[in-house]
Every structure is written in structure tokens, then in C-alpha cells.
Amino acid sequence: MNTGSITHIARYPVKSMRGESLDSVDVDFVGLPFDRAFAFVQEGLYTSFPWFTARDCPQMLLCQPVLSGGASPEHRHKPPSVNVVTPEGEFDLTSPEMRAKLQEWSGKAPALRTDYRGCQDVAYVSVISTATIRALSEAAGVEADHRRFRMNLIVETGDEPFAENAWAGKAVTIGGATIAVHEPDRRCNMITLSPETGESTPAVLKKAGELNNANAGMYCSVLVEGRIAVGDSVTL
């Protein structure tokens, strides 16, 4: 059953920093190459969630990573070079200057880590519908911007919000790839932060709670590796 089409593909090379839009991508069993390949953790914090994110430092959402040096699927095991364009200049992601800037903004001590499999919270691939984005954005009085929700695949499915909830336990074919849809993405304060300014609008999370048990979008894994492109049909 055809349920829609892909409108955007996004990857986020550095957890909590700005992402990049892709026209197409070759997904493998650990998702989109270099998605969340880098992340900062809080030094001295030994918990199941050690990440240093925009909740600690909203300025991260104003930072744009730029990948170079072999950023292609066949080089997944070799981290690419990354420069970060910030409101206060451009820095090498791995440099002491980048770390110092994050510490200056947040008052906390971050340390960089990398993992070719990605530093995702739960699953390697995420999907959300444009209807879900519109419903939550309109309810909260913010601009409908897929970047706020930081998902990999944005799907046009029609006007029914949260229709993707019903995909749990099913396989979805998109272009040359097939993904398994597992469970809803339970959201946190990250979705309250504007992707453009870092400003918080608590109503976004509140409305997600009222409308969909604080969920928005679905977590997935890859069953069949292949290429996904904007415009590809989504078949349930």
C-alpha cells in the first residue's frame, strides 16, 4: 500500500548541531552515513544519557557542521574532517577552541566523541510525517519546520497527524531500501527549541503530550540497504 512520498532527507553529523539536507542517500544497516557521527558528552557525567546537547547549550543549534575529507559511505569507518560555522567564527570540530567556545556558552565542560555507527539515542533511522509536524506546530503557535524535530526522513502522507503511529511493527519500502518501524519517538525539551534561534517554546512539548502522549515520529531500523531519494514513494 502506497502511503506517501519523501519530502526531505536530513542528517545531523554532530548531535544537537544543525543538520544538512540531502537529495539522496545510501542507507546501510546503521542508518545514514555520518548521521550523529560526532557528539559531545559531559565530562564527569557517568549515566545512561551522558550527552551534552542543546538543552545544555542552545547555541549549538546555531552551529553548522561542514563535512569534508572522504565523507562518503565507503569511508564510514574513517571519520571525516568537520569544520563548524558558528555565530562567533569557524572552528575545527576537534579543536580546543571549539570545546572552549561550548564551555564559554554553557558553563559546562564538554568532551568530543565519535562513533561510525552514530550516537543516536535509540535507533539508527527516524521518520515523521509532514502532517504531524504541521499539527504540533500549529497547536503550539510556531513555524512548521521539520528541523525542530531532527528526524532523518520526512514523509508526506496526507492530512492525518500521527498516522505514522500505525506503522509500528511493519516494514516500509522507500526507494531501494526497506526499513522496519519499531516504536514512537518519545520527545523531550529538544523540540521546544527553535532550530533557527535556539529560543524555547515549551508549548511544543506540552501539545505533543496532549495530542500524542508526548510522541512525535517513529524510530526505525534498516532491513534492506539501498538508496533513498527525495520524491521516492513510501510503501507500507
pLDDT number for residue 75:
62
Strands (E), the chain: 2-11, 20-21, 24-27, 38-42, 51-52, 64-68, 81-86, 89-92, 110-114, 125-129, 153-156, 171-174, 177-186, 215-224, 226-229, 233-235
Structural domain tally of the chain?
A: 1
In the predicted model, is pLDDT for residue 70 greater than 80? no
pLDDT exceeds cutoff 80 at 206: yes
| 64 vs 109: CA distance, rounded Å | 20
Q: Determine the structural domain holding residue 40 and report its residue range.
A: 2-235
pLDDT digits (tens, 9 = 90+) for 83-94: 999 999 999 999
- Range with the lowest mean pLDDT among 43-47, 216-220, 227-231, 232-236? 43-47
What pTM was estimated for this model as a whole?
0.93
Query: Tens digits of per-residue pLDDT, 105-131?
Result: 999 999 999 998 999 999 999 999 999
Average pLDDT over residues 169-196: 97
Average pLDDT, the chain: 94
The gap from C-alpha 40 to its chain's centroid, in whole angstroms, comes to 15
CATH for 134: 2.40.33.20
